[in-house]
Amino acid sequence: MTSSDSSHGRRNSSSSSRTSMQDRIPYSPALSSAYSDTSSVRSRNSVADAARSIAGVFVSCFTPPETKSSNSFADSEEYRAHSVTSDASGAGSERRRSSNRGIYAHSNNSTHEREPAGATEKLTMEGINRVTRNFSPSFKIGQGGFGTVYKAKLADGTTVAIKRAKKSVYDKHLGVEFQSEIRTLAQVEHLNLVKFYGFLEHEDERIVVVEYVPNGTLREHLDCVHGNILDLAARLDIAIDVAHAITYLHMYTDHPIIHRDIKSSNILLTENFRAKVADFGFARLAADTDSGATHVSTQVKGTAGYLDPEYLRTYQLTEKSDVYSFGVLLVELVTGRRPIEAKRELKERITVKWAMKKFDDGDALSVLDPKLEHYAGNSLAIEKLLELALQCLAPRRQSRPSMRRCAEILWSIRKDYKELMGSDFRSFSTRSQRS
């Protein structure tokens, strides 16, 4: 996100722009059960276990090449499941249509095209070149593992983020990743997930077009890059949004989807500080539990500092790996620190290890982001957030809560926090934004 996006990140009032609690529920049946006090779940032994396993996690970032053989995207079974219509453009090609989301794929050996769902313009290389002025650096808004990200406006006025894969995407490894991103994005639609508009595969270009989310990443806001401080209420809202998004992926898509790369730089914020989870480059469909399988064995991928130790040890991926990463994210939200802070003294370098130790010593408030003020009202919320983080960071995945449970607990924390703050809730929010 560049500073040229001048509309970004100037939050004057944290709560006035936010919607009501009811408005914020993207789905309701999942969140119906009542919150029960989690203090009984807290185990001191688990802190030591967590610390031991966490220490082993941060040795390196594992992104070995994908070895699993994969069919071409056009041959994938997931896509065969979508209805197929004949392609108007030529022999040897076919057009597949996502049955419920109006997304097209069009292939003739080397070319796949899709058009944005909801946007009227057909996606073509010519069109992409036009709207990005041939990928002019002035349209560039970011750079990531997948490639370069550009901001552009389609002819129908839709502002989009255009992700242009690095040339090396043509390698098998990245090609598989690209296909994974496409398959996954095409399936999901949720308020707290970045919308997929389409993709285009043309000669050696791989382009993904997604919803443009205008207010930078959560990491940037925790670093105050945009000049504002996220208060505790905003951080709670963001945690809830992310929990909703991951719950949706785990429970409400056709097949459970594991995100695999939950981290603060993959959480994009809207102007109203709603969170949208991005970057499905690593996502994998989870095992079909009906068939008795409980995990997907695969190469370890993800980002150092967020990786589930059990996944690292066993190569077995389950939804609980996302829960672990979410626990790291919760600690990040409370402390403001990155998961790995290489420049700090040894005992503070691994943020979750440091924070969980403090929590276990009964000194939770000392890990609070120094940018946030302590009030009587926020200590309980901070303690409960860390308590939930501790559960998410449990070394054994069976001990971790589901994402749905995390969402329920977060709802309860926010409810209690609002009640405690009473009429001060808004003024506290506003005041800490200005400080």
Q: Residue 226 CB, nearest distance to ligand ATP (Å)?
A: 11
212 binds ligand ATP (CB under 6 A): yes
Site for ligand ATP contains 174 (CB under 6 A):
no
Q: Residue 171 and residue 168: Cα distance in Å, rounded? A: 5
Q: Nearest CA to 405 among 243, 283, 249, 252? A: 243
- Residue 123 contacts residue 114 (beta carbons within 8 Å): yes
Q: Single out the residue of 47, 131, 141, 356 in contact with ligand ATP (rule: CB under 6 A).
A: 141
Closest to ligand ATP by CB, 308 or 387: 308
Note whether 306 binds ligand ATP by CB under 6 A.
no
Choices 32-40, 60-68, 262-270, 338-346 (CB under 6 A): range interacting with ligand ATP: 262-270
The residue type found at 59 is: V
Query: Which one among 79, 104, 146, 359 touches ligand ATP, defined by CB under 6 A?
Result: 146
Distances (CA, A) of 153 to 83, 117, 130, 135, 252: 30, 15, 10, 13, 31
Of residues 231, 241, 261, 322, which has the active-site annotation? 261
Q: Counting contacts by CB under 6 A, is residue 127 touching ligand ATP?
A: no
C-alpha dihedral over 143, 260, 263, 38, to 10 degrees?
Answer: 170
Which residues inside 178-207 make contact with ligand ATP, applying CB under 6 A?
194
CA distance 277 to 53: 27
Residue 103 or 213: the one with the smaller Cβ distance to ligand ATP is 213
Q: Which stretch binds ligand ATP (CB under 6 A): 45-53, 141-149, 198-206, 386-394?
A: 141-149
Q: Does 53 bind ligand ATP (CB under 6 A)?
A: no
Q: By CB under 6 A, is residue 278 in contact with ligand ATP?
A: yes
Q: What is the DSSP letter of 227?
A: S
Single residue of 26, 118, 127, 144 touching ligand ATP by CB under 6 A = 144
Q: How many CB atoms within 10 Å of residue 140?
A: 17
Q: How many residues does the chain have?
A: 435
The dihedrals phi and psi of 409, each to the nearest 5 degrees, come to -65, -40
Dihedral sign of CA atoms 99, 104, 107, 111 in order: negative
Q: Which of 312, 318, 190 is nearest to 258 (CA)?
A: 318
Q: Check binding of 213 to ligand ATP (CB under 6 A).
A: yes
Query: Which residue's Cβ has the minimum distance to ligand ATP?
Result: 144
Asked about 237 being catalytic, the answer comes back as no
245 binds ligand ATP, rule: CB under 6 A:
no
Task: Note the residues at the interface with ligand ATP (CB under 6 A).
Answer: 1, 141-146, 149, 161, 163, 194, 210-213, 217, 261, 265-266, 268, 278-279
Q: Catalytic residue positions?
A: 261
